[in-house]
Chain A
Amino acid sequence: MTETANTNQPFAGLELVPRTDAKQTAKDFKSDQEVRWCPGCGDYAILAAFQNFLPELGVPRENLVIISGIGCAARFPYYMDTYGFHSIHGRAPAIATGLAASRPDLSVWVVTGDGDGLSIGGNHLIHALRRNVNIKILLFNNRIYGLTKGQYSPTSERGKITSSTPVGSLDYPFNPISLALGAGATFVARTIDSDRKHFTEVVRAATDHNGAAFVEIYQNCPIYNDDAFEPLKSPQSRDDRLVRLRHGEPIRYGAEEEKGLRLGKYGGLEECAGDDEGVVVHDASVEDPSYAFALSRLDNEEFTHTPIGVFRAAPRTTYDQLMREQIEEVTRKQGEGDLETLLTSGDTWRIT
């Protein structure tokens, strides 16, 4: 493989990925395949926003790889004119780990959903985040199983009436942001399918992070869980509920920024007046994830204060880089491997 190290690359996560000066447009990333999500599905907006965003990376199409598992979201790679791998349920992070660890010249993206990433593939997701391999994980959270026709998912609210839970689901949902932070993720963010500008900012920040990035995207499934995030989308209610996290800025929200967040008892965060002198200034780079975790716990079923944006961006050396460094280090110390020396190592004897 040719690896063109790129010195003027603005994105930290793309340091070893070659760059092209050729002009790219969203169209360059559209495959010739007909997109087959249901009409009105939030996935359309995400696909379009993503294709619109890619040209700013300046990465040649052939160095982009999108890997998915199973589910509605997992069809994503088929619609992208890049390299793509639609794999099996839950396993995309594992496959992406093998690819990214062995090919630092690729920009590797995982597209997953709440069922794929948090249920059947939960183990791979947490370990990919813990290891911090340089992959970007987009988790489309629609809080329902779409492709298998509407069963509740690990992010569905409790008591959800679905085809498999006709009198209501019994289990408590995961909070994906808390989970990712708990797993030691170095980059954790949340955005919304319908807000292209915000989506683009978050995905840009994820690309600019060298290491595993976890982006939860609230995604509407009009067929099985319509308007699940409506309070966060409707112009009447959203400003009152969306807590927009901006690095270095005080956390204020509400139509008039009349509300804010300050440190509460027991290490949590609590609502306060916007002009409270204790309003927290958001810092995504804090090494200790407790603060980001406290932010993630503000979520509730009523969406009274739902943070979006980058919760945490605290880079640490990536697994793939450490792996390469070990190999380089050992090779420098011991010299490059020689087959004959290897095979004849230990006690040998000659028979003539």
Chain B
Amino acid sequence: MQKQIQQIDRVIIRFAGDSGDGMQLTGDRFTSETAAFGNDLSTLPNFPAEIRAPAGTLPGVSSFQLHFADHDIMTPGDAPNVLVAMNPAALKANIADLPRGADIIANTDEFTKRNLNKVGYLDNPLEDESLADYRVHPIPLTSMTVKALEDFDISKKDAERAKNMFALGMLSWLYHRPTDGTIRFLERKFASKPVIMNANVAAFKAGWNYGETTEEFSVSYEVKPAALPPGLYRNISGNLALAYGLIVASRSSGLSLFLASYPITPASDILHELSRHKRFGVQTFQAEDEIAGVGAALGASFGGGLGVTTTSGPGISLKSETVGLAVSVELPLIICDIQRAGPSTGMPTKAEQADLLLAMFGRHGEAPVPIVAARSPSDCFDAVLEAVRLATKYRTPVLLLSDCYLANGSEPWRIPEIDSLPDLQVEFASEHNHTDEDGTPQFWPFQRDPETLARPWAVPGTPGLEHRIGGLEKADGHGNISYDPDNHDLMVRLRQAKIDGIARDIPPLEVDDPDGDARVLVLGWGSTYGPIGAAVRRVRRNGAKVAQAHLRHLNPFPTNTGEVLRRYDTVLVPEMNLGQLSLLLRARFLIDVIGYNRVRGLPLKATELAGAIQDVVDSART
């Protein structure tokens, strides 16, 4: 039977199943196939914090959403067009997000009375009329997989386990995905277990063949490759991009990377990744706690290394005293906060942007710290390079803000040319920098560079520059302990002026205002970049005029920020918190921005946000 092929411009697929069903792997593989095919894409993994929540229950549902298109897209999408539900729990947990007319591919084998009851279905929704608004494809995925693997010498359990590959094969057929990558992947993954490897490959192919032969699917879909800027691409998640960024920063600064961290979701993957790159001379240290993590990193910085610690919000709270010390002793230090929903343990696998004020003010005393925020998964690479540039040039701890969505989400990344990477070369102090009254040359550890106000970085082992630093207030210049009131006033102001001065060293805030006559500005920071961009596009397509800007530096703000804000009648600030950037903007610029705030642990929905922007545009017009 020759099946019909339909051209579409974009699709959002969500794979959902039990934590043990391998949905993240399935999603990853589909993503790789899609990337290799040349679509633009964006992903949103969503999984419980529990490693194996009880099977078949709602808390145990794990999902992976992928949005891919023939044009550039900015978000993993609000509402899936296709839901693959491996069990009743997966259906129940996700059905509310599906628009009418969406396809539901359900694994009927798992829709047993027991499993249905477990999640509160009295009747089988696949059989009653409750899903009449959707296109339901009931398919016995498990039993077909087992049947396909009859001839393999594997247990029934192992055969059943391959059902995710069957599903992947089927979806790959449905969307014309290339399959070589997945087959190569399975060959690699199960290299030491050839039987399991062959079974998985067979299940994958069986799924593909089933798609082709079944009458369940009369149409298959084609999404043409997107016209992205030329270059070599790969798919990358935020945490991976961040880890690579650190390795590159270490190379181009000439500083050895010392990562000291305590495991915490969703930051641990950075520790895992960097631990694999010892050949770059990377030292990774799993500390006894968060405080030791930042302490050891600061110790490495004192020794002339690139000291880095990675964590999430609760860890930042614990590290805060040491960050204050780093501010006081003016040493470079990188602190990465992969934000998650708080307070306290909150929702460790869900995203939020609610640590901005913690990053800004969460220390004792006047302790300003530059803040750099990444805006997309691949942007974590550039953001961390910028954090390292500021930390080493200004001898200061820098807070890098990412979040759970960026950390785990992925997108295609145009791999930079090696010689286009920034030069972050650092010079240590090697000579005396002061002469005392009787002409003796001396080293003054707090003698500042007149332009940057940075102090010299004199590392142990350098003869003649022996000096002591510490958390006690230091006299300007020679750096000995000082309790002098005027000196303290001066030092507090100098430390502040040093950080404020960074504003001169960062690009101005760029505004995207196509016709230059919008009256509403949407201003964001961090991972809301994608949803804001998608929402702004949508609003513009409806004919409304709206400007968009996004902050990379949250402290200090770019010098033109106030001027940009004043240019517009209304400034809307969407955030995944209760208005933290809004508060800073109001305080700093006396402009009453409007907040759009959601704290659902998920990225903002572009459609909802578009509605909110439209409302603001409409009311600005009247």
Contact = CB atoms under 8 A, between A and B. Distances in A.
A103 B322 CA distance: 21
Interface in B384-403: none
Contacts of A170: none
A223 B304 CA distance: 40
Interface in B350-367: none
B509 to A, nearest CB: 29
A121 to B, nearest CB: 9
A23 interface: no
Interface string B245-269: 0011001000010101000000000
A87 B235 CA distance: 42
B491 to A, nearest CB: 16
A102 B466 contact: no
A326 B278 contact: yes
A319 B192 CA distance: 32
B302 A330 contact: no
Interface in B453-475: 459-472
B285 A101 contact: yes
A78 B471 CA distance: 12
B460 A103 contact: yes
Nearest to A65: B460
Interface stretch (A209-217, A257-265, A303-311, A340-348): A340-348
Contacts of A100: 299
Given A95-B295, A327-B283, A330-B278, A83 B460 contact: yes
B470 A106 contact: no
Interface in A243-268: none
B221 interface: no
Contacts of A348: 232-234, 415
Contacts of A87: 295, 325, 470-471
A153 B321 CA distance: 22
Contacts of B296: 94-95, 97-98, 101
Given A343-B415, A348-B415, A337 B247 contact: yes
B329 interface: yes
B292 A94 contact: yes
Interface stretch (B30-38, B56-64, B104-112, B124-132): B30-38
A120 to B, nearest CB: 10
Interface stretch (A42-50, A55-63, A226-234, A281-289): A55-63
B302 A99 contact: yes
A82 B285 contact: no
Contacts of B472: 86
Interface in A322-352: 323, 326-327, 330-331, 334-337, 339-340, 342-344, 346-352
A351 B230 contact: yes
A80 B468 CA distance: 8
A127 B299 contact: no
Contacts of A198: none
B279 A77 contact: no
A190 interface: no
Interface residues of A, number: 59
Contacts of B429: none
Contacts of A337: 247, 277, 279-281
B543 interface: no
A1 interface: yes
A164 interface: no
Interface string A81-116: 111111110010011111111110110000000000
Contact of B234 (A84, A127, A346): A346
Contacts of B470: 77-78, 84-87
A331 B260 contact: no
B300 A123 contact: no
Given A62-B461, A330-B278, A94 B471 contact: no
A99 B463 contact: no
B379 to A, nearest CB: 15
B295 A94 contact: yes
A78 B478 CA distance: 13
Given A81-B466, A327-B278, A99 B36 contact: no
The interface centre, meaning the residue of B229, B299, B321 with most chain A CB atoms within 10 A of its CB, is B299
A31 interface: yes
A147 to B, nearest CB: 12
A331 B278 contact: yes
Interface string B190-225: 000000000000000000000000000000000001
A8 interface: no
A315 to B, nearest CB: 22
A85 B302 contact: yes
A350 B225 CA distance: 12
A241 B492 CA distance: 53
Contact of B460 (A70, A81, A106, A331): A106
A62 B463 contact: yes
B365 to A, nearest CB: 12
Contacts of A80: 468
Contacts of B36: 347, 349
Contacts of A61: 463, 466
Contacts of B234: 343-344, 346-349
Given A1-B304, A97-B292, A98-B299, A350 B231 contact: yes
Interface in A287-318: none
Given A98-B303, A347-B235, A349-B38, A63 B461 contact: yes
Contacts of B32: 347
A148 interface: no
Contacts of B481: 33, 78
Given A67-B299, A347-B181, A351-B228, A106 B292 contact: no
B297 interface: yes
Nearest to B471: A88
B256 to A, nearest CB: 7
A337 B280 CA distance: 5
Contacts of B469: 84-86
A204 interface: no
Contacts of A103: 303-305, 460-461
A342 B466 contact: no
Given A347-B36, A351-B233, A86 B471 contact: yes
A87 B295 CA distance: 9
Interface in A27-53: 31, 33
A124 interface: yes
B283 A101 contact: yes
Interface in B309-348: 321-322, 324-325, 329
Contacts of A70: 471
Contacts of B468: 31, 77-78, 80, 83-86
Contacts of B258: 98, 101-102
A127 B38 contact: no
A331 B322 CA distance: 33
A84 to B, nearest CB: 4
B288 interface: yes
Contacts of A351: 38, 225, 228-231, 233
A212 B37 CA distance: 55
The interface centre, meaning the residue of B258, B278, B297, B467 with most chain A CB atoms within 10 A of its CB, is B278
A6 to B, nearest CB: 14
26 contacts: A1-B459, A1-B461, A2-B461, A31-B468, A33-B481, A61-B463, A62-B460, A62-B464, A62-B465, A87-B471, A94-B296, A97-B285, A97-B296, A101-B283, A101-B300, A103-B303, A123-B289, A123-B292, A124-B288, A323-B285, A331-B281, A337-B279, A337-B281, A347-B32, A350-B230, A351-B229
Given A94-B296, A95-B298, A98-B260, 17 more contacts: A60-B463, A62-B464, A84-B469, A86-B470, A87-B470, A98-B302, A99-B299, A99-B303, A102-B258, A103-B460, A105-B461, A124-B291, A124-B295, A323-B283, A342-B247, A349-B36, A351-B228
A-B pairs, 3 with minimum CB distance: A98-B299, A86-B470, A94-B295
